[in-house]
Amino acid sequence: MKYRFAERVRPLCQEGAYAVLARAKTLEAEGRDIIHLEIGQPDFPTPPFIAHAGAEAINKGRTNYTSPAGTRELRAAIAESAGAQRGITISPDQVIVGPGAKPALFYTVMALVEPGDQVIIPDPGFPSYEAIVRLAGGLPVPVKLDKNGLYNFDPDDLEASINSRTRLVILNSPSNPTGGVAPISLLEKIAELVKSVDGWIISDEIYSKLVYDGDAPSIAVIPGMTERTVIVDGFSKTYAMTGWRLGYGIMPAVLAERMELLLTHSVGCTAEFTQAAGISALLGDQSAVAAMRDSFRKRRDLTAAALNSIPGVKCALPPGAFYLFPDVSSFRLKSRKIADYLLSEAGVALLAGSDFGKSGEGFLRISYATSLEHLQEAIERMRAALARL
Ligand SMILES: Cc1ncc(COP(=O)(O)O)c(C=O)c1O
């Protein structure tokens, strides 16, 4: 049979992290010893008190459908804690819960973008942004991150790209893949530009609690911005809950009503017991989050220093997330080639910067969400392999 698929799904590609993970798993199945620095997920288990709350909810029969937008209790807990974290007032009606942060990204774009609308995305940036914008029929407009300014949008580049057809600007601070954090002065400039074209912001703040130096302000705190901003955040990274699938969006209540309908007619709702675990995560003791953050900071410092000791590699010390984005352009090879070489020759799985957009060429993305022991071994393997290039 000749299969024919809709035009909207034909251009979709796999995300680099999943593709490299699959290749690394094949090598492991052949007996190779692989160190995984490709996937962006904490190596810590979900803190036990959160896991117990989820298990207890299952045992008590909390395995039913909930309201598509999430349980009242979880929406209230998110409104309270996300508001306190950012110093703004959020009502539960503004909160939409979904299975991960990705649905909040996806449905916001579906709700706001008309075919032909332009959407500014960071380059390099999280690959799903471009895929989602294209699925909605929008036109992604990549704006380069300023490599000297710790990987933030260059406001001049942004100003040159923004126009009356710009519907939405997607921000991600702290950033995947660079770990860069946007200071409030930059966010103020972006806010002015977005207001001038009557546009919207998606502020993907999924790494908002993984900041090691200073803080990561939200653009939503700038006067006049809450009414045109959707904050996207979740539990995957902060609480080591990637597989639980729990995230949320915070937005004007009128948009939340539309989003609830999109959830109703797609996923239906998020698992009730997962939502119970989320309440316990937000209301419980936050020391596990602080302990994970301390551990990430230590890994970041040691790994960046070790990378800088490899001839030909230059690595900045990013203030947030759990990624390093070393510059390997001195090897004069495509970053995809270097990443493939390191996987096959050194057994180190990591991502090419170009997996995140054209401007990522010349860089590698390393997730340091793994043990120090693995990180040290990976660096030594990289040092030896890169010396042979
Ligand atoms: C920038 C960014 N946004 C969103 C997500 C998706 O998070 P979730 O697992 O909650 O869907 C990720 C996951 O890697 C991410 O890096």
Residues framing ligand 1 (Cβ under 6 A): 40, 100-102, 126, 172, 176, 204, 206, 234, 236, 242, 247
In this structure, the dihedral spanned by the alpha carbons of residues 115, 120, 125 and 131, taken in order and rounded to 10 degrees, is 0
pLDDT at 147: 74
Amino acid identity, position 88: I
Q: Show the domains of the chain with their CATH numbers.
A: 16-45+287-387 (3.90.1150.10), 64-283 (3.40.640.10)
How much is the mean pLDDT over the chain? 96
pLDDT at 150: 67
pLDDT at 149: 66
User: Rounded to the nearest whole angstrom, what is the distance from the C-alpha of residue 7 to the centroid of ligand 1?
Assistant: 26
Q: What whole-number distance in Å separates Cα of residue 272 and Cα of residue 274?
A: 5
Closest-lying ligand 1 atom to the alpha carbon of residue 242: 9
Pairing of strands 229-234, 35-36: unpaired
Q: What whole-number distance in Å separates Cα of residue 88 and Cα of residue 82?
A: 8
Segment 283-339, tens digit of pLDDT: 999 999 999 999 999 999 999 999 999 999 999 999 999 999 999 999 999 999 999
pLDDT at 264: 98
pLDDT at 313: 98
Give helix then strand counts, H and E, for the chain: 12, 13
16-42 mean pLDDT:
94
Q: 168 forms bridges with which residues in the sheet?
A: 119, 200
Q: 213 falls in which pLDDT band (50, 70, 90)?
A: confident
Has residue 59 got a pLDDT over 70?
A: yes
User: Rounded to the nearest whole angstrom, what is the distance from the C-alpha of residue 210 to the centroid of ligand 1?
Assistant: 13
User: Rounded to the nearest whole angstrom, what is the distance from the C-alpha of residue 190 to the centroid of ligand 1?
Assistant: 22
Answer for the pair 168, 143: CB distance below 8 angstroms, yes or no: no
Closest-lying ligand 1 atom to the alpha carbon of residue 172: 1
Segment 182-199, tens digit of pLDDT: 999 999 999 999 999 999
Q: 379 falls in which pLDDT band (50, 70, 90)?
A: very high
10 Å CB burial of residue 78 (0-12, 13-18, 19+) is: buried
Residue showing tokens 């909390």: 62
Segment 69-110, tens digit of pLDDT: 999 999 999 999 999 999 999 999 999 999 999 999 999 999
Segment 261-274, tens digit of pLDDT: 999 999 999 999 99
User: Rounded to the nearest whole angstrom, what is the distance from the C-alpha of residue 176 to the centroid of ligand 1?
Assistant: 9
159-171 mean pLDDT:
96
Sign of CA dihedral 105, 106, 111, 117: positive
- Please state at what angle helix 48-59 crosses helix 272-283, rounded to 10 degrees: 140
Pairing of strands 229-234, 200-204: parallel
Identify the CA nearest to 65 among candidates 250, 264, 259, 256: 264
Q: What whole-number distance in Å separates Cα of residue 141 and Cα of residue 122?
A: 8
SS3 256: helix
User: Rounded to the nearest whole angstrom, what is the distance from the C-alpha of residue 374 to the centroid of ligand 1?
Assistant: 23
Segment 113-153, tens digit of pLDDT: 999 999 999 999 999 999 999 999 999 999 998 877 667 88
